[in-house]
Every structure is written in structure tokens, then in C-alpha cells.
Structure 1
Amino acid sequence: MPSTTVKAPQESAASLSHGLKQRHLSMIALGGVIGAGLFVGSGAGIAAAGPSIVLAYTLSGLLVMLVMRMLGEMSAAYPSSGSFSAHAERAIGPWAGFTAGWSFWVLLCTAVGLEGIGAAKIVTGWLPGTPEWAWVALFMLVLCATNLAAVKNFGEFEFWFAALKVGAIGLFLVLGVLAIAGVLPGTDSPGTANLTGHGGFFPGGGEGLVVGLLASVFAYGGLETVTIAAAESEDPVRGVASAVRTAMWRIALFYVGSMAVIVTLVPWDAKAVVEKGPYVAALDELGIPGAGQLMNVVVLVALLSAMNANLYGSSRIAYSLVTRGLGPKSLGRVSAGVPRIAVLVSCVFGFGCVVLSYWRPDDVFSWLLNMIGAVVLVVWTIVAVSHLRLRRSRTFPLLTWAALAGMAAILVLMAREPGTRVQLYATGAMTLALAVAGYARQKALPVANV
């Protein structure tokens, strides 16, 4: 265990309620990650990588499993609504906790806005002429009210949201496998035509695989929310370990399995994969009446669920930072077991991102998107370094070093790709600025004995 000369105030977890049950944690783990990245964003990955997107999601999925194994282990030992931020403070120092926490807060709040925009686009497709911003505002209002209520209400809300989309993905996989096997009535098995035709398994070559790999890495972001929620569960130690373990294999099945079904059923270069979304395109290919529109309903629910989970995560990590002396005290006020000021501020920030997307889409909003582009990798790197310094296990430190090597490789790939290089630089600039501010804040914290 490393020593430090600075000791930040400890989080007062007792002021938060403990109303989340095990079933809530399991679904929160799924709800935070199964959103636009899977249902919508995966289309761009398929368009770039072709059938090799399956390999891309497999590789990034293995990396995510390593990260979540580390994070779950530390969260079971030190339950905190600050999750990786609190672990970084303990292992490295308050400046690291500050950097990880506030960068992730910006990411989650921005994601809330992006998910809201995606949900609004679906609704305006059904109701042409209605303003997108008004739908986003309505979604924000409803979900903000949900998060202002007792945490058990949030947990119940998210449980049913997540259960619906998990069930839908499960049904999609079953129908897809039956169609591929040629036993689904009214369909013929595509065989391997879409996997080997249209340019082969690697139509975009190594460059296409790299683009798909980068897209898949960021699609997995959000799984960290379950370790944030663990502090408000009835049994944090058992709860987070079980939730992380089950979430990892389920998400691997959903992501990798879904990609395999889609690229087998639909030509990867079909315009519908990007225009309609890969899931809708696959169901339309099967010719199931109304299936495409039904999937749009599922996508809408998935987006609202991800908004809900991200709003929860952003408010809790802000609360944790404040209670550890790493943020403005006003955000730490708790009422009825809920940090309501943090919830409201996170909502306002998220809706502000939506306003920027309409008001300044080409400069300010674009800059914001670039700035959060590699935050997930920054957080994962901090998780791995924290694990190296805090934990010892049978596989220590080989798997942790393997995860760090994987993240370093992805950062190098980002630097080589023109489309992601700007994101890497923008995220690096934000991380450096936060690290400097965090170090200045650390110097102001009470000094403890070495």
C-alpha cells in the first residue's frame, strides 16, 4: 500500500440511503451500457470494419472484462459511491481521484444529453414537425424527477427499463440464430455469404478493424455505474461482486452475439445498417411485420434507460467528490438520502449539451464531444494503476499489466487515426487541466502523517 502525505476527507456514505437490491444492481450494470453505443453507434463500426466487427467487439470485450474484474475487486474491498475515483485517491493521491472523478462526471453528463437527442430523433420520426429539443426537455424532466426521489424508486425504474431491453436483445438473438440456421419460417439461411462476400471478412483491412475496435471500446463505456451504485445497496460487498460477474458475460453475449448475428444476416455495406440502425436493418431483412418499428421502441427505451443510469452515476460521483473535499460543498447536500443538488446540476449540464448541439454544433459542441472522446480510456488506465497499488491476487499483476498494455495499444491506434487523433488530444488537454487543478486542491487539503 503506498503512503501519502495528504489525506482527503472521507466520504460520508451513511448519509446516502441503502435501498438498492441485488436485482437492481444487476440491471443497473446492464442499463448503463446498453444504449446508443450498441443500438445506434454500432452501425458506424460495422460500416468501417465489416464482418470483422465481431473480432473488434471480442477484443474490446476482453479488455472490459479485465477492467471490471479489477474495479469489482476494489469496490468490494472499499465500497464507495466514488468508485474508481475513491480508489484512485486511496492508491495514488487526491489529485488522481479529482481527475478521474470530474472527467467521468463530464462524460456522463454529456452522455445524458446525447442519449436524449437520440431518443428525441426516434419520437420525431413518429411525430414529424414536433421539436426535438422539447422532447429532450420532457425526458430530462421525467428522469430528473425519478432521480430526485428515493434511490429505491430509481432502482425499480431502471430495473424494468433494463429488463425490457435485455429481453428484446435476447429475443433478437434467438430469432437471428433461427434465421441463420434456416429454421425460421419464411426465411432462408444466408449461410456465410455476407461474411465472405462483399470484400470478405476484413473488407476495410487493418484500418477498418482499427476503426471498429475504437468504436467498440467506447460502446462499452457505462458499465462502471454498477460499482458507483454498490455504496447504496443493502450488501455492497456481495452485491457488487455478483453484479459485475454476471454483467460481464451477459454484455459480452449481447454485444459480440448481436454483432455476429447482424453481419451474418445483413450485408455489412447495406445503407440501412447506418441509416436505420443495425438491429432494425436485421429485422427488416427477416421480413417480420412491424419488427423494425418494434425495435425502434426498444431502442427508445434503451436510450431512456441509459439516460437514467448516467444521470444517477453523475450525481453520485459528484457527491462523493464533494464529501472527500474535492468539489464545491453545495453539491454534497443530501435530502431524504439523495444528493438532490448534484442531480439537478447534472441535469442542467446535460441539457446544456443539448442546447449547444443546436446552437453551436460545429465548434463548441464538437469540441465537447472530442474532449470526452477518450475519457473512458483515461478512467480505465487509472483503475488499472490503482489496482496495481492496492490489490494483490493470484493473477496479480499479469492480468493488470495485460490490461494496461491493451489500453496503451488503443491510445497508439487513436493517435494514428486522423478521425480519433483530435479526440485523443482534446481529452489529453482536459485530463491535464484537471490533474493540475486536482494537485492544487490536494495542496489545500489537510496534511496527514506519512
Structure 2
Amino acid sequence: MNPPKLHSALGDGLSSRQVTMISIAGIIGAGLFIGSASAIATAGPAILISYALTGFLVLLVMRMLGEMAVIQPDSGSFSTYAARALGPWAGFTIGWLYWWFWVLIVPVEAIAGANILHSALPAVPAWVYTLSIMTLLTITNLFNVKNFGEFEFWFSIIKVVAIIAFIVVGIVAVSGYWPLAKVSGVSRLWDHGGFMPHGSGAILSGVLITIFSFFGAEIVTIAAAESKNPGEQIRRSTNLVVYRIALFYLLSIFLVVSLVGWNDPQLKEQGSFQYVLNVLNLPGANILVSTVVFIAVCSCMNSGLYTASRMFYSLAQRGDAPKAGTRVSAGGVPRVAVLSSTLAGFAGCFANYAFPGKVFDFLLSTTGAIALLVYLVIAVSQLIMRRKLERSGQTPEFKMWLFPWLTLFTIAIILMVLGYMFISPDYRYETLMTLAVAVIMLMLSFYVTRKRAVQKVTVSSKMQPQRRAVQATK
């Protein structure tokens, strides 16, 4: 079945090379360079199993999303598909939850980037750096989608080169040929309490940490909608997911836990990549890693602003956000949507500095389970849409594997993880906060849907006399 042509006022300003690099490096964030240390401390070397399980889950979700996106590329991505599969309430709820997630993550990344700059040049207050980073990336997103694409292209190049360089250095060191330090072998995988020092239960805890490192892979289905051949871009990018996970996460983390002890306190204090390079006595390791982390932070911010604005635009197109959000500039940029998302990010930054450790931390806790809810909605939407398609006698060109069994398996796994989060003391608060926000969004969706239905009835009743007059004239 040939995918229908995409009709979007956003245009097709993203080039093939830009979308390709966005898809390759979309899951490389500060969570890999720094956050992986916390994951390693939670599960020990067995974190490799956590990353593998999470990667497999993300691979399945991306395949399902890819199936739907190839048939009908859309800037609203899974939110649009949820509206079609489950009803307007589902598209409204998951779309606003996704927007909420990114407008809160954007200030987190801006603050992290500002802290890196402030540590290098402490004479300038951290909030000045935060404001500057936010302003610069807002400007890049306001004028032309090519600006976003070009920034993200070079950000991605640097991140990929950094990861590959680390892997090369790590392989040389594990092989025993590193000239600057005496390290070799992989005995640290079991030397400190065995491969599973905290037991098999810690693997699931590791999954709950690592799953947020992968969140963002779905951005390519949003970005591809603004390219010249969205269906082909999505198909290619989805096929690359397995290689990205294996190379960037599994191989790099394998080298980390092979070269340094998982329970070394310096690992968590310095960050996994930085500590490994310091152990290997690599000159300038701290500056190198700080630079790459800063770029990863800016990349995440750039993608977050872009993604939030496109989701806002899609919601506005469907009547789920203010109509002004559909306004598009001559360059194909939904500026009202960009500014709305940016202002929310600035508000988050203000809350962090005005009320440190209070308001912003509370807001951030509401994002705890949003990634899993998004994955769940993607899986359920694909299950429903695929069955509708097959009942109509059609077959998608880009298929989910072993349908419907792998789709049902994915849904069961996500529900199991959500259930574990709900009963676990460590994650219950964040899960309840996310569910509270989801319920609020759901109630708003019913209100908006009902209001829209009433307006349609009102307009229809007003048109009745005119229709009768026309019929009488005929």
C-alpha cells in the first residue's frame, strides 16, 4: 500500500542528512555520559541486561510507531495515531503529556548546561548562562526549521564521534594495549560481588533508570514529517534503532563496567565516561567529557524545543490547543507554538532559581512515568490501527514483526513495569504524580471534546434555516 502524500503547512525544510543524523544520535544524551553511572551503581555489571531489555522494548515500540508513521507521516506522530485509534480524548491526553514532559526537560538541560559553563567560568552567574542558552536555541527554532536541523546535525556528529572514540579507546584498553595505564581484561564484570551483586531484582530497577535514556528516539517520526520523503526517512531510521542501541549503549557500557569497578564511589561522583578516561590517564579527559556533555545537553534542549512546538502545533490543528498555534511563518515555522513551548521552559528556569528545591522539583516529579505511558499508547494504537487495516483488506509495507503477539507482549511488559513502579517505594511518588497529571489532562480532554461537539450542534442548528431556504428556492 502506497503511503498517502503528507499535507502539512510546515513544509519540508529538513534535508535527508539532517534527519539521518537526528535519528542516529537522537538517543545520545547526557543520560548516557553521566546518568549511566547511577544505573551501574543500581544493578552492577548486570546493568548490561537492563540496557538490553530496555533497548529491546524501545526497538519494538519504534517498529510499531514506524509502521503507523510510514502509512501516514504526521508532525503529531503518536498523538495523532492515538486520536484515530482510540478517540480524540487519547490524542489530547498523550499529546499534552508529551508536551508537558519536554517543556520541563528543556529547563533541566539548560540548567545542566549552565552549570558546566559556570564551573569553567565562575565569574558569570549560572542563571545568566541559562538565560543565554535558552535564548540562543529559541532563536534557532524560531526562524527556519533548517536552523534546527543544522544545529542538530552538528551536535549529532560530535556526539557520535565522541562515542566511537571512547569505544576505540576502551577496546584498546581492554585488550591490554593502552600505553598510558595498566588495565586489561574484563574481570571487573564479576570481581566485585559477581555479575549480579544486588540480585536479579536490581535488573528491573535498572530498567526503570535506563528507559529514560532512550526516550527521544521517537523524535525522528516527528522530524521526518518535515522532510521531502518522510516515509522513506522513517523506514530507514527505524531500521537503524537496533544498531544504535547495540553500539552506543551496550558496547560503551560494557567497556565502562569492564574497565572500572561498578562500586567505585568515584564512578558516580565523576560520571562513567569521565572516570574511565581519568583511570586511563587520558590527558584533558575532564575538559573533553565536559565539552561533549555540554553539547549533548544543548542537543537535548534543541530537540526538546522543536518536539514540544510541533506537538503543540499538531494539537492546535486538531482543536486541542489554541488556534493561534496553527499559524506558520513564511519559512514554515509554527512560531506561536515555538514561543508557547519556550515560555513554559523559561517559567521552569525561573521556578528553579526563585524557589530552589521546591516548585520545579515538584513539577519535574510529574514526568516520572510519562515515557512508559507514551510507549503504552503507541502499542495500543498500533494494535487497533493494524487490525482495522487488515479488516479493510490492506497490508502495510513496513510491518511490525509477529503481529499481534509481539505487540501484545510489549503492552504486557509496559503494564508490568508500571505496576512495579506503583508498588515500589522508590518510584511510587513519581508514578502517582504522573497519573495525577494524566487524569487532569484526561478530564480536560472530555471537556474540550464535549465543548467541540456542542459547538458543532449549534452551528448545524443555525445552518438549518438557510438549508431549508435554499431547498425551497430550488
Tell me, yes or no, whether TM beats 0.5.
yes
Alignment partners' CA distance in 2, 1:65 and 1:52? 20
Matched with 1:402 is 409
Change (3 A) 1:360 1:418: farther
Is 1:192–1:264's contact at 8 Å kept on the other side of the alignment? yes
2:299 pairs with one of 281, 305, 318: 305
Matched with 1:25 is 19
Is 2:174–2:186's contact at 8 Å kept on the other side of the alignment? no
1:370 pairs with one of 365, 372, 384: 365
| 183-192 or 195-204: bigger deviation | 183-192
Alignment partners' CA distance in 1, 2:352 and 2:241? 32
2:273 pairs with one of 274, 279, 290: 279
Paired residues for 1:349-360 under 5 Å: 349-360=344-355
Alignment partners' CA distance in 2, 1:440 and 1:373? 25
2:282 pairs with one of 288, 291, 294: 288
Residue segments in structure 2 that go unaligned for 5+ positions in a row: 1-5, 388-398, 458-474
Alignment partners' CA distance in 1, 2:371 and 2:7? 25
The amino acid across from 1:410 in the alignment is V
CA displacement at 1:188 relative to structure 2:
3.1
Change (3 A) 1:248 1:441: farther
SS of 2:178's partner is coil
SS of 1:200's partner is coil
Q: Flag as ranges the 4+ runs of structure 1 deviating above 6 A.
A: none
The amino acid across from 1:346 in the alignment is S
1:242 pairs with one of 236, 240, 250: 236
Say if 2:142 is the partner of 1:148. yes
1:340 pairs with one of 335, 341, 355: 335
1:218 pairs with one of 205, 212, 217: 212
Deviations along 1:384-443, one digit per CA (max 9) or x if unpaired, are 000001125562101111111111121122123212111111111111111121122222
Say if 2:107 is the partner of 1:100. no
Is 1:82–1:316's contact at 8 Å kept on the other side of the alignment? yes
RMSD: 1.8
State the identity %: 43
Is 1:33–1:306's contact at 8 Å kept on the other side of the alignment? no
Say if 2:39 is the partner of 1:45. yes
Residue segments in structure 1 that go unaligned for 5+ positions in a row: 1-11
Alignment partners' CA distance in 2, 1:270 and 1:359? 36
Alignment partners' CA distance in 2, 1:151 and 1:421? 39
Alignment partners' CA distance in 1, 2:256 and 2:84? 43
CA displacement at 1:31 relative to structure 2:
4.2
Alignment partners' CA distance in 2, 1:130 and 1:207? 45
Alignment partners' CA distance in 1, 2:7 and 2:181? 55
CA displacement at 1:24 relative to structure 2:
1.2
Alignment partners' CA distance in 2, 1:177 and 1:328? 53
Alignment partners' CA distance in 2, 1:126 and 1:147? 27
SS of 1:40's partner is helix
Is 1:31–1:158's contact at 8 Å kept on the other side of the alignment? no
Matched with 2:471 is none
Alignment partners' CA distance in 1, 2:229 and 2:78? 19
Is 1:31–1:306's contact at 8 Å kept on the other side of the alignment? no
| 235-244 or 439-448: bigger deviation | 439-448
SS of 1:445's partner is helix
Say if 2:423 is the partner of 1:416. yes
SS of 1:231's partner is helix
SS of 1:434's partner is helix
CA displacement at 1:59 relative to structure 2:
0.5
Matched with 1:8 is none
Change (3 A) 1:32 1:359: farther
TM-score by length of 1: 0.93
SS of 2:91's partner is helix
Q: How many residues align?
A: 438
CA displacement at 1:23 relative to structure 2:
1.7
Deviations along 1:209-232, one digit per CA (max 9) or x if unpaired, are 232211001111111111111210
Say if 2:70 is the partner of 1:76. yes
Alignment partners' CA distance in 2, 1:39 and 1:358? 25
Is 2:224–2:230's contact at 8 Å kept on the other side of the alignment? yes
Matched with 1:86 is 80
2:251 pairs with one of 253, 257, 261: 257
CA displacement at 1:207 relative to structure 2:
4.2
CA displacement at 1:57 relative to structure 2:
0.6
Change (3 A) 1:426 1:45: same
Q: Which has the higher contact order (CA 8 A, sep 6+)?
A: 1
Deviations along 1:243-302, one digit per CA (max 9) or x if unpaired, are 222144213320111111111111112222222211101111111111232111111111
1:201 pairs with one of 195, 205, 214: 195
Is 1:13–1:231's contact at 8 Å kept on the other side of the alignment? no
The amino acid across from 1:303 in the alignment is V
Is 1:36–1:118's contact at 8 Å kept on the other side of the alignment? no
Matched with 1:128 is 122
Change (3 A) 1:156 1:247: farther
Matched with 1:388 is 383
The structure that has the greater radius of gyration is 2
CA displacement at 1:206 relative to structure 2:
3.4
Is 2:24–2:240's contact at 8 Å kept on the other side of the alignment? no
